[in-house]
Structure 1
Amino acid sequence: MEGQSHDQEQLVAKVVAGDRRAFTLLVEPLLPRLLATSFRMLGVRQDAEDAVQSALASAWIARARLDPMRPILPILTTITLNKCRDRLRRRKAARFLGFGKVLEIDLAADRAPSPEIEALDKQLLKATHAEILNLPRRLREALILVTVEGRSQGEAAELLGISEKAVESLVYRARKQLRNKLDLE
């Protein structure tokens, strides 16, 4: 682990100096996590990819402010969440003004024949995904970071710029809203 930290410090130092190859080496292993976070926030694969691409472009532009002693994943996750928030605001404004069509949720197709139980599970998954997307932004962010991505409340608090207690409360409220909406009691 110590060697990885040292390697990352060296890569960040090279990135700060303008080395594009070092930037690629630095962010490439983090892409799956960033894309997963973005997809869970936005619910549309293309939008998620665009948000991550925009986040990486912003990180590259602001590379002079990177600190080689700080882990890069929390920084990139924060930038990605900000890009997701921007996209959600634009979506909301577009819907309010009547532009565009409502986006369909991009769920993976079920490869197996769909017996009754699988059909019910798929319906519940789709309903849960839709309800997560309908949660207020702060509740959704906390829920995704802690429950879906498995981050600690401390990590989520740092990424969201709030206290651990606030994260705990947000996750509790998000779960309660989901249970009530989906009648899971």
Structure 2
Amino acid sequence: MQGQHDTDEQGLVEDVRSGSRTAFGRLVEPHLPRLLGLARRMLGSSEEAEDAVQTALASTWVARAKLDPAQPVAAYLTTVTLNKCRDRLRRRKAARFLSFGLFDMDLPVAAGTPDAETEIGDRQTLESVSRAIERLPVKLREALVLVTIDGRSQREAAELLGVTEKTIETRIYRARQRLREKLDFV
């Protein structure tokens, strides 16, 4: 069955390269939830994540001639999305440096019906962890998000980021170390 999926994707990529917007929509649609989740974890904001993914998809459309039918499109889309997240993080850092203020975080708590005190504590914990992850250097954050949160293997993350598996392992270790230093409960 995987071979049929590969053939379908290859055909869609060929159609996209020829300028078919319908094929582009069909090609990227299955990847949208994962790309949005990745961008949200990298940026800490749903609105910014949506903007980053939209920009990534627009860039992919403009550069559609670069799509290789022999290569899985998921890796390409992930790389472009990560690059757009990096761009936004650089702009955010510059804005903070220039005193334009911090960005708001609106992170929901997981579904369930905890009492008000537990919910407040959970929200505070989630916000603390999210802010600590946001403060990690981009290279550590990328490795941590791709492997620990997005569920990719270290090999996949290494291929996406153009580094060795050992580098990914080291970055994850350092990210977790820094989080432990900043948070008593991790």
Q: Normalised by the size of structure 2, how large is the TM-score?
A: 0.94
* Corresponding residue number in structure 2 for 1:168: 169
Shift of 1:109: 5.1
Q: Deviations over 1:52-87 (max 9, x none)?
A: 000001101111111101000110000000000001
Shift of 1:110: 6.6
* Corresponding residue number in structure 2 for 1:146: 147
* Corresponding residue number in structure 1 for 2:94: 93
* Corresponding residue number in structure 1 for 2:4: 3
Unpaired stretches in structure 2, ≥5 consecutive residues: none
* Corresponding residue number in structure 2 for 1:108: 108
Task: Give the SS at the match of 2:38.
Answer: helix
Confirm or deny: 8 A CA contact 2:109 2:122 kept in the other structure. Answer: no
Please give the alpha-carbon distance, in whole angstroms, between the structure 2 residues aligned to 1:67 and 1:157. Answer: 20
Range with greater deviation from structure 2 (104-113 or 130-139): 104-113
Q: How does 1:34-183 map to 2 (within 5 A)?
A: 34-99=35-100, 101-108=101-108, 112=113, 114-183=115-184
Task: Give the SS at the match of 1:107.
Answer: coil
Please give the alpha-carbon distance, in whole angstroms, between the structure 1 residues aligned to 2:98 and 2:118. Answer: 40
Amino acid at match of 2:53: V
Q: CA RMSD in A?
A: 1.5
* Corresponding residue number in structure 1 for 2:23: 22
Q: Deviations over 1:128-181 (max 9, x none)?
A: 111111111000000000000110001000111111000000000001111111
Task: Give the SS at the match of 2:25.
Answer: helix
Please give the alpha-carbon distance, in whole angstroms, between the structure 1 residues aligned to 2:138 and 2:76. Answer: 19
Confirm or deny: 8 A CA contact 2:147 2:154 kept in the other structure. Answer: yes
Please give the alpha-carbon distance, in whole angstroms, between the structure 1 residues aligned to 2:102 and 2:124. Answer: 19
Please give the alpha-carbon distance, in whole angstroms, between the structure 1 residues aligned to 2:110 and 2:68. Answer: 44
Q: 1:118 to 1:109 in 2, by over 3 A?
A: closer
Amino acid at match of 2:92: R
* Corresponding residue number in structure 2 for 1:32: 33
Would you identify which runs of 4 or more consecutive aligned residues in structure 1 move more than 6 Å?
none
Unpaired stretches in structure 1, ≥5 consecutive residues: none
Q: Normalised by the size of structure 1, how large is the TM-score?
A: 0.94
Confirm or deny: 8 A CA contact 2:109 2:123 kept in the other structure. Answer: no
Please give the alpha-carbon distance, in whole angstroms, between the structure 2 residues aligned to 1:125 and 1:19. Answer: 42
Count residues with an aligned counterpart: 184
Shift of 1:104: 1.4
